[in-house]
Amino acid sequence: MADLRPTERFSDRVEDYVRYRPDYPRALVDWLHGLGVKPDWAVADIGAGTGISSRLFLDAGHRVTAVEPNASMRHAAVRWLGHEERFRTVAGSAEATGLPDGSVDLVTAGQAFHWFDKDRMRAECRRILSSRGLVAIFWNTRRLVGTPFLEGFEALMHEYGVDYVSITERYADDDAMARWFGHGYRGMASFPHGQKLDFDALKGRLMSSSYAPKPGHPNHEPLLAALRTLFESTQEDGTVDYDFDTRVFAGRPDA
57 located within any domain: yes
- Residue 217 located in a structural domain: no
For position 3, what pLDDT does the model report? 41
In a domain, 240, yes or no: no
Question: Does the global pTM surpass 0.85?
Answer: yes
Q: What is the SS3 assignment for the chain? A: CHHHCCCCCCHHHHHHHHHHCCCCCHHHHHHHHHCCCCCCCEEEEECCCCCHHHHHHHHCCCEEEEECCCHHHHHHHHHHHCCCCCEEEECCCCCCCCCCCCCEEEEEECHHHHHCCHHHHHHHHHHHEEEEEEEEEEEEEECCCCCHHHHHHHHHHHHHCCCHHHHHCCCCCHHHHHHHHHHHEEEEEEEEEEEEECHHHHHHHHHCCCCCCCCCCCCHHHHHHHHHHHHHHHCECCEEEEEEEEEEEEECCCC
Is 212 domain-assigned?
A: no
| pLDDT for position 180 | 95
Is 186 inside a domain boundary?
Answer: yes
pLDDT average, residue stretch 211-216: 90
In a domain, 224, yes or no: no
pLDDT score of 9 more than 70: no
Residue 126: which domain range?
2-143+170-196+245-251
Q: Residues 56-82: what's their mean pLDDT?
A: 95
Q: Is the pLDDT of residue 245 over 70?
A: yes
- Above pLDDT 90, what percent of the chain? 81
Look at the chain and report how many structural domains it folds into. Answer: 1
For position 166, what pLDDT does the model report?
66
CATH number at residue 99: 3.40.50.150
Residue 151 lies in a domain: no
Q: Is position 221 within any domain?
A: no
